[in-house]
Every structure is written in C-alpha cells, then in structure tokens.
Structure 1
Amino acid sequence: MRKTLGGWALAAVAGLGALATVAGTAHATPTEATSLYAPSSLVLSVADGDSAQATVTRAVTLTCRPTAGGDHPAPRAACAELQAARGTFAELTDLTTGSVCTREYAPVTVVAQGVWEGRNVSFSHTFANSCLQQSARGTLFHF
C-alpha cells in the first residue's frame, strides 16, 4: 500500500510540475513579444485643395512598428525617414534643392493621421501644386 500511495504521490507531483512548466511557457507568444514596441501606424492621404477637408484623391496605409508594411509603395524607406526625422512630419515636406516647378496655383494637401511611436498624430501641409508636393524631401508623401 505504501508503494501505491508513494507512486500516486510521485505521479501527482510530476503532473503538477509538468503543468507548471506548460503554464510558464504559455505566456511567451509572438504577439506579446511585439507589444514591447510602441505602435506606429498611419493613414497618409493627398487631397486636391487647400485644406485637410478637401476631397482625397489618393490614400495609403503605413505601418512602421513592429515591422514596416502597409500599402505605401516604399514602406521601409518612409519609416526610416520618419525615424530619422524623429516623427517630425514637417521636415519631410521641405522642398529638395533644385526642384523646378511652374508657378501655377492648384493646391494639394497632404495629411498624416494615426499613431506614431504610441502617440496620436494629425499633420497636414498644403503645397501650391502637385509638382511641389512631388518635389518634397523623402518618400513619405510620394504615392
């Protein structure tokens, strides 16, 4: 009888130990590992007009964390530029030197809304025309 009770006790302890091991490793999921980074996910749009409420003609999504993605044509480059600019969107609307555009006034407004490194952002900038918008530094608003 002692051997039987000892066997059952040993089996119970081994079962509890295995259960604790499984429970201890059940928490290490890829979702939790990626949640250590503040999210960065944006909707970028271009509108014909001089305000953020103008009619949107193009829009893309850009996700930078946990990985670069979305339907932006160059997500890795756009994320790298935003990271280098420390999330300052205005730095990416500066015109490149040597850009040659007509002086026509047909305003185009770019808008970025969403989350950058865990904080809500809303940015808009109006260019005098689409040539100037395409002459802006970087690839963030080039889609």
Structure 2
Amino acid sequence: MALDAVGGDSDRLDAEPGATCTAEYSPVTLRAQGTYRGRAVDWTRTCPNNCEATVKTGAVFYF
C-alpha cells in the first residue's frame, strides 16, 4: 500500500517520480480525513491539475 511505504505521511507520496505533466492550470484539491492505523488524519493539498495529483499520489487518490 502506498501509504504504508511512506509511513502514512501523505506529504511524502511521490507515485511517479520524474513523470511530467502539461502546464495546464485546472486546480484540484485533495483531502484525506479520518484515521490511518489508529492515528487521526486531516490532510489537504491543492495540485495544479489532475495529472500532477495522480503523479504525486498514485492510487491513493484516483481520478
């Protein structure tokens, strides 16, 4: 699981390092709220577009 690989730290996700996306600006806000392995989570990140969001989070947030 992708979150296990980064110890549950969503800021460390990098599903496709080195992948490139277009410079299209169509912002997407990602949010995870709940618990992960008994720990409270409230995480938000805004990415410039769906491609950038997918490159960073992979299967954690699916578009």
TM-score bin, normalised by smaller chain: 0.7 to 0.9
Q: Which runs of 5+ in 2 are unaligned?
A: none
1:106 aligns with 2:26: yes
Identity %: 40
Query: Which residue of structure 1 aligns with residue 37 of structure 2?
Result: 117
Query: Which residue of structure 1 aligns with residue 4 of structure 2?
Result: 83
Q: Which has the larger radius of gyration?
A: 1
1:113 and 1:123 in contact (8 A); partners too: yes
| TM superposition score normalised by structure 1 | 0.39
Q: Which runs of 5+ in 1 are unaligned?
A: 1-79
The alignment partner of 1:133 has SS state of: helix
What is the letter of the counterpart of residue 108 of structure 1?
V
- The C-alpha deviation readout for 1:24-57, integer Å capped at 9, x for no partner, is xxxxxxxxxxxxxxxxxxxxxxxxxxxxxxxxxx
Greater RCO, CA 8 A, separation 6+: 2
What is the letter of the counterpart of residue 29 of structure 2?
T
Q: How many residues align?
A: 63
Question: Which runs of structure 1 show a deviation greater than 6 angstroms over 4 or more consecutive aligned residues?
Answer: none
More helix by share: 1
Give the RMSD, CA atoms, in angstroms: 1.8
